[in-house]
Amino acid sequence: MPDNSMVVEKAMLTLAAAKKIVAAAEAEALKHAWPVVIAVVDDGGNLIYLQRLDNAQFGSVEIAIQKARSAMAFKRPTKAWEELLASGQHRVLGLPGVLSSEGGVPLTWKGQIVGAVGVSGVKSSEDGQIARAGAAILE
């Protein structure tokens, strides 16, 4: 008889969910005419979906992905790292995988982190606002 303590079930973020998250984030960005890149990663930090709005700078593509990966890796919004850095905690710059700029937000489903969304292209506080709008879809 199999031992049920050896394997647990977990929620998985789907492509359909990622598209809805991006659509909600895009709606928030378009409300303000903010040209951004929006990335969604799964719980392993693998890119599921990426959308670059018209006129978004191409440099924001990799930054949006890295914000999402950082939020997933550390299971917290990247705003936390930005705040630590602003308070003088420069050691965060040496932590692998940390991106200390607001705009990365974990995605939670029924109390379980299933991925993250990252946004780049405007001020970091605005990136964060857009990312939170996308993440709210799962709440």
In percent, the amount of the chain with pLDDT more than 70 equals 99
Q: Domain count of the chain?
A: 1
- Angle, helices 79-86 vs 124-135, to 10°: value is 150
Is the Cβ–Cβ distance between 119 and 38 less than 8 Å? yes
CATH of the domain at 60: 3.30.450.150
- Asked if residue 2 is part of any domain, the answer here is no
- Asked if residue 3 is part of any domain, the answer here is no
- Asked if residue 1 is part of any domain, the answer here is no
- Asked if residue 125 is part of any domain, the answer here is yes
- Asked if residue 120 is part of any domain, the answer here is yes
- Asked if residue 5 is part of any domain, the answer here is no
Report the 10 Å Cβ neighbour count for 58: 8
pTM comes to 0.94
- Asked if residue 105 is part of any domain, the answer here is yes
- Asked if residue 4 is part of any domain, the answer here is no
- Residue 104's domain spans which residues? 10-138
Is the Cβ–Cβ distance between 28 and 130 less than 8 Å? yes
- pLDDT for 52-110, tens place per residue? 999 999 999 999 999 999 999 999 999 999 999 999 999 988 899 998 999 999 999 99
- Residue-by-residue DSSP string for 39-70: EEEETTS-EEEEEE-TT--THHHHHHHHHHHH
**Phi then psi for 119, rounded to 5 degrees?**
-130, 140
